[in-house]
Chain A
Amino acid sequence: MLLNVDAIHVHYGSAQVLHDVSINVKERELTCIVGRNGAGKTTLLKTIGGFLKPTRGTVTFEGRAISGMRPDKVALLGVKYVFQDKRVFGDLTVRDNMELAAYPIKANVDEAVERLFSISEKMKRLIDSKAKGLSGGERQILLIGRALVGSPKLLLIDEPTEGLAAIVINDIARILMETKGRLSMIVVEQNLAIVSRMADRIYIMKEGNIIREITDEAEIRDPAYIESLL
């Protein structure tokens, strides 16, 4: 098992947001977390990423406890986070954004840029543009490309298709499908059609709890069934 979240409780001040949450992620598996707004999906990702410290329970990555570890240390272990709000470093060029991701892990910038181009051809003409001029979809592609720098082991992707046009959503889904199998991913997503297309395992969250784990192939490929559980 690559990641093991074991019975964590997370609080924002005195308010408990996650209750006894446990999930497992296998090597090269794509795990989706679905649930209504406020279910605690983003909180779970932030806890795995080191941004929040669980008040109880443990998070173990490759057999090593990472609960409460600083986000930069978690990132250096190979856990990369793609945030929901699609904010890039706008005053930097696309290339600078890639360089910024490559520098702390001593990855080759040119190789990272080439990989970005392999994800999306259109990034070639945007490589020296300031990132603040990119569209929502282009930003998301840059963020995924940036997270893939240096061959991470686990990607945490929060609502990758939220607020994007249908054609761009297909593009993002294609990129995730192409990336699937090369590394592990936890994707928080509300678009159930996409979830049922790409997930190997689904966790359903409600009011800070995991209410269901789905591993059955037929159930995963049925968005109506997943919807009925929310």
Chain B
Amino acid sequence: MLLKKLSNSLTFAVAVIMIGFIVFAYSASVNKVTDFVIFCIYVLGFDVLYGHMGRISFGHTLYLGAGAYGAAMCAKYLVPDPFLAMAVGIGAGAALGLILGPIAVKTKGAAFALINVAFNQIGYFIVLVALAHYTGGEDGVSLDFNSYGFVDFRNVHFLFAFCLASLVAVYWLMHRLYGSAFGAMLLGIKENETRVRFLGYNTQAYKLVAFIISTSVSAFAGSLFVINYGFANPSFMDPARNVEVIFAALIGGPGTEFGAVVGGTAYMVISNYLAKYITRWEMFLGVALLIIAFGFRKGIMGYVRELVDKRIKAGAITK
């Protein structure tokens, strides 16, 4: 009973996330762990489409980059207010979702994945070349954000606390979303979209809403990265970096909010710490992807959930 309650408890999950990251940050590096936390928000955004709607995007850095450049352009050309920059970043992601979504959500499978790569390539070209005069091209732009008393994003402890609170807020929102009829409908689309339409749903409209939620959350992560680093450059939108978020979602367990956090953290730990000891650590990433593809498709949380379900069933049978 306790096991079942814990496995479904939002409070328990949030407590584990908060305690885990705080302990990790203050025993390793606050700067680094802030990065991990932001990356987890990005994975949560990506997983709306992949884990819950069954659409894998190979071009999601476009939306991360949109948030990053939205925030950066706001800080550079309007006012260096961090909150306004975040709002503009999220708005940029939502606007891109609204413009590109109607085309993207008409497709599925390989077409959906590739159409997002195509959008990503166009976006990358725009920030790197076409708008280089404003975006700083390959060099990017450096930024300095305003501070208001203790609300100082240059203070690593404040920034860490803000990002952790943001992760918890996004996690809570996702938990509410997936627990609602909308979440059930997304899973229904993942399983069989035609049947969902026969229940009376205009699935195109709902898929578009999910797409915009995903791009907005990813853009939020992008704007936080910019505030954390104090600069924006084209690497935020580099199509070659899409593998990072895909790997994180896969290893954590697609379709589980906690899996997104576990996968995001696992990926960041591997890429940050393994790189210290092994120069070509990406090779191990390739091997790990092969293992996941052939025998570990549910990811860490998928297997933990299965184990918990088995224990609960065994307990029920024993009783």
**Residues on A close to B: CB < 8 A?**
49, 51, 70-72, 75-76, 80-81, 83, 87, 89-92, 96, 99-105, 146
Contact = CB atoms under 8 A, between A and B. Distances in A.
A199 B222 CA distance: 62
A76 B201 CA distance: 8
Nearest to A102: B181
Nearest to B190: A91
B199 interface: yes
Interface of B: 181-182, 184-185, 187-188, 190-192, 194-203
B198 A100 contact: no
By DSSP majority rule, is chain A's interface helix, strand, loop, or mixed? helix
Those 6 A-B pairs whose CB atoms lie nearest each other, nearest first: A75-B200, A103-B181, A104-B200, A96-B184, A76-B200, A71-B197
Given A70-B197, A71-B198, A72-B200, A100 B191 contact: no
B198 A89 contact: no
Contact of A100 (B181, B190, B194, B202): B181
8 contacts: A89-B184, A89-B188, A91-B190, A96-B184, A99-B184, A100-B185, A100-B196, A105-B200
Contacts of A104: 199-201
Contacts, number: 61
B191 A89 contact: yes
Nearest to B199: A101
A101 B188 CA distance: 11
Given A72-B201, A81-B198, A96-B187, 20 more contacts: A51-B198, A71-B198, A72-B198, A72-B199, A72-B202, A75-B197, A83-B195, A87-B192, A89-B188, A92-B188, A99-B181, A100-B184, A100-B188, A100-B199, A101-B199, A103-B185, A104-B199, A104-B201, A105-B200, A146-B199
